[in-house]
């Protein structure tokens, strides 16, 4: 059979199929065509021996409304260097500015952009170094009617409803914005992604309202509103929420990931469902940097490589109900990421300034989009 592209001799890790071994991956017509040893007939054959081949990485929490919000970064530039083939924007746009995001950023983008639509009219409009306005503080900005209408009309790109609660995001509005977002999500049959920062409301209040399939992002944040208590024990409400199907996402960002919390969570056998960077203009230069750096931190804290890969491929795809993503099954979307796993001494930092000397680092060595090679150094 003739293939458009063959990735030859890499270590293929595809948790969706339980695959971890050296083999080839072939693409044709924009999809994965075959996976196995000794594949022949590729118009473009790339030797990736010594490297890791995974399904295209999904970053479930990004901000890529470049030019439309002050926190937006350029999706193509970020994805090219971070090995991401699907960037999921989480609430940069609301129903009042969604169409600009769709027309001017998403549709022209060479990489796939999906989105959680913010229940606030203009999304996250006041996130900058000098101006920091929590969009959920003013309840007059909540726009459930238009949010439901826009989400229903754009199901090809919108995967859920976003809301931000916490002292910084919602001030004294507490859980009211979350309640509104849950009503919208129920109306359109989509999950909610809920941001949490400092109290009020409490971590327990927020996860207590979430339904099976809803996502709590910033789930491994530092004190206050941490998922662990002062003795490093995972809170009972956190364990109960997972049992009923609430999903826990990292959303590293500028202030939402700590090594202390993560050590305690992993020691308690509580891994995140999804690992995401929450990359935006205020954290792309650190402490989050990018998706592969965020993944590397979990490797260095002891999370097994296959489960780290699952958290940014099949798990993220399932959270969005997009099973065609996050897998290398033949017939699935023809996206793949080529990673290098280096050993050495690497410095990592969390949002409270703690440094960790890690022994491993993942870097992106290439990206396949729709069955075509898209190298980090390519124009």
Q: Are 167 and 206 in contact (CB under 8 A)?
A: no
**E strand or H helix at 204, and its extent?**
helix 203-209
Q: How far is CA 241 from CA 31, 60, 247, 325, 367, in A?
A: 36, 20, 8, 26, 36
User: Is 63 annotated for ligand binding?
Assistant: yes
Pairing of strands 42-47, 57-62: unpaired
What the block records as the tokens of 158 is: 């919108």
User: Is 252 annotated for ligand binding?
Assistant: no
Q: In a 10 Å sphere around its CB, with 0-12 CB exposed, 13-18 middle and 19+ buried, how is residue 108 labelled?
A: exposed
User: Is 278 annotated for ligand binding?
Assistant: yes
Provide long-range contacts, Cβ within 8 A and 24+ apart, for 330-333: 330/31, 330/32, 330/33, 330/34, 330/35, 331/31, 331/32, 332/31, 332/32, 332/55, 333/30, 333/31, 333/32, 333/56, 333/370
Cβ within 8 Å of residue 235, ≥6 positions away: 203, 204, 227, 228, 229
Q: Are 93 and 117 in contact (CB under 8 A)?
A: yes
Please give the Cα distance from 135 to 124 (Å, whole number). Answer: 6
User: Is 195 annotated for ligand binding?
Assistant: yes
Q: Are 255 and 226 in contact (CB under 8 A)?
A: no
DSSP class of 244: T
Q: Are 301 and 4 in contact (CB under 8 A)?
A: no
User: Is 118 annotated for ligand binding?
Assistant: no
Q: Are 352 and 52 in contact (CB under 8 A)?
A: no
Binding residues for Zn(2+): 61, 63, 162, 195, 218, 278
Binding residues: 61, 63, 162, 195, 218, 278
């Amino acid at each position: 059979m003739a293939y458009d592209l063959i990735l030859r001799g890499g270590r293929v890790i595809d948790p969706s199929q339980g695959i971890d071994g050296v083999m080839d991956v072939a693409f044709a017509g924009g999809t994965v065509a075959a996976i196995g040893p000794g594949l022949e007939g590729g118009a473009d054959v790339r030797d990736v021996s010594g490297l890791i081949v995974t399904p295209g990485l999904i970053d479930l929490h990004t901000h890529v409304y470049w030019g439309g919000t002050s926190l937006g970064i350029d999706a193509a530039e970020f994805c090219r260097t971070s090995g991401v083939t699907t960037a999921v924007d989480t609430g940069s746009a609301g129903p009042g500015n969604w169409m600009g995001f769709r027309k001017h950023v998403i549709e022209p983008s060479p990489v796939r952009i999906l989105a959680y639509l913010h229940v606030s009219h203009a999304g996250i409009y006041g996130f900058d170094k000098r101006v920091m306005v929590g969009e959920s503080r003013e309840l007059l900005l909540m726009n459930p009617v238009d949010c439901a209408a826009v989400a229903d009309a754009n199901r090809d790109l919108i995967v859920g409803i976003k809301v931000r609660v916490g002292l910084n995001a919602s001030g004294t509005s507490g859980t009211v914005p979350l309640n509104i977002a849950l009503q919208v999500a129920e109306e359109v049959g989509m999950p909610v992604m809920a941001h949490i920062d400092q109290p009020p409301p409490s971590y327990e209040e927020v996860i207590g309202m979430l339904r099976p399939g809803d996502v709590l992002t910033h789930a491994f944040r530092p004190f206050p509103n941490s998922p662990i208590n002062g003795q490093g024990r995972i809170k009972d409400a956190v364990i109960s929420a997972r049992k009923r199907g609430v999903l826990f996402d990292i959303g590293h960002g500028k202030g939402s990931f700590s090594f202390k919390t993560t050590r305690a969570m992993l020691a308690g056998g509580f891994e995140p469902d999804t690992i995401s960077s929450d990359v935006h203009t205020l954290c792309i230069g650190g402490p989050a940097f990018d998706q592969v750096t965020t993944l590397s931190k979990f490797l260095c804290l002891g999370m097994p490589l296959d489960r780290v890969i699952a958290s940014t491929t099949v798990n993220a795809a399932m959270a969005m109900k997009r099973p065609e993503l996050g897998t290398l099954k033949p017939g699935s979307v023809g996206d793949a990421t080529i990673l290098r796993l280096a050993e050495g001494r690497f410095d990592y930092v969390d949002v409270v300034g703690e440094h960790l000397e890690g022994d491993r680092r993942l870097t992106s060595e290439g990206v396949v989009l729709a069955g075509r090679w898209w190298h980090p150094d390519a124009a």
